[in-house]
Chain A
Amino acid sequence: QKEVEQDPGPLSVPEGAIVSLNCTYSNSAFQYFMWYRQYSRKGPELLMYTYSSGNKEDGRFTAQVDKSSKYISLFIRDSQPSDSATYLCAMKGGSSASKIIFGSGTRLSIRP
């Protein structure tokens, strides 16, 4: 079993829809949870990071962490064609020496 599981998609939704992206994980030591967006042939861009459980909102993006279920989500409201990209969840333990573990990424396409 992988430490982090993420559905690779592709996921295609119409413009304006709410998008829900999810990851599950098995390591209860993870404390930091991140979402990265990666456009084709570009490096990943940090979108959201959360420490421990809870919600965090930034504009159209909301990140949720449920440590009891080992489940994290990223919601995108009022999705735009420019949101079309691959979204990678990532997480790491509390010590500075721990490595970030990435999900495999979900390819998202927003149809105009």
Chain B
Amino acid sequence: GAVVSQHPSRVICKSGTSVKIECRSLDFQATTMFWYRQFPKQSLMLMATSNEGSKATYEQGVEKDKFLINHASLTLSTLTVTSAHPEDSSFYICSARGAGLGGGAGETQYFGPGTRLLVL
């Protein structure tokens, strides 16, 4: 149980284009989804938190107009990197926290496999 998928697993795009990454909770309802960015050999950096049906809350220093987050349903959140530039190249990971997981596990987060973005 508690499986989170991400698509695509890797994407290469030209500078200036937009890229959409999908995050799905496959066997539970994700009341909250999180988007992280991870640079090589570094820990996870939280970018934003989104609750289903409401606007995302962005961390300090993260441009909300550049990283558009939509959490339209309890099983799907999307991150769109708009006008991507080479410095946006990174490993983007979503995670989800939700109901029905039992035993206090609703307080934990389950991560997707990540999306590697390379902007040329």
Listed in ascending order, the chain A residues whose CB lies under 8 Å from chain B are: 32, 34, 36, 41-46, 49, 51, 88, 92, 96, 99-100, 102-105, 107
Is B50 in the interface zone, CB < 8 Å from A?
no
Cβ A43 vs Cβ B104 within 8 A: no
User: What is the number of contacts between chain A and chain B, taking CB atoms within 8 Å?
Assistant: 49
For A51, what are the chain B residues with a Cβ–Cβ distance below 8 Å?
104, 107
Listed in ascending order, the chain B residues whose CB lies under 8 Å from chain A are: 2, 4, 6, 41-44, 46, 49, 91, 93, 95, 104-114, 116
For B106, what are the chain A residues with a Cβ–Cβ distance below 8 Å?
96
CA of A103 to CA of B44, assembled, Å? 9
Cβ A32 vs Cβ B49 within 8 A: no
CB-CB under 8 A for A99 and B49, given A42-B113, A43-B93, A43-B113: yes
Cβ B107 vs Cβ A41 within 8 A: no
For A42, what are the chain B residues with a Cβ–Cβ distance below 8 Å?
113-114
For A102, what are the chain B residues with a Cβ–Cβ distance below 8 Å?
43-44
User: Which residue on B lies nearest to A95, using beta carbons?
Assistant: B107
Cβ A105 vs Cβ B43 within 8 A: yes
Q: Apart from A102-B43, A107-B41, what are 20 other A-B pairs with CB-CB below 8 Å?
A: A32-B104, A32-B107, A32-B108, A36-B111, A41-B91, A41-B116, A42-B113, A43-B4, A43-B112, A44-B111, A46-B109, A46-B111, A49-B105, A51-B107, A88-B44, A96-B106, A102-B44, A103-B43, A104-B42, A105-B43
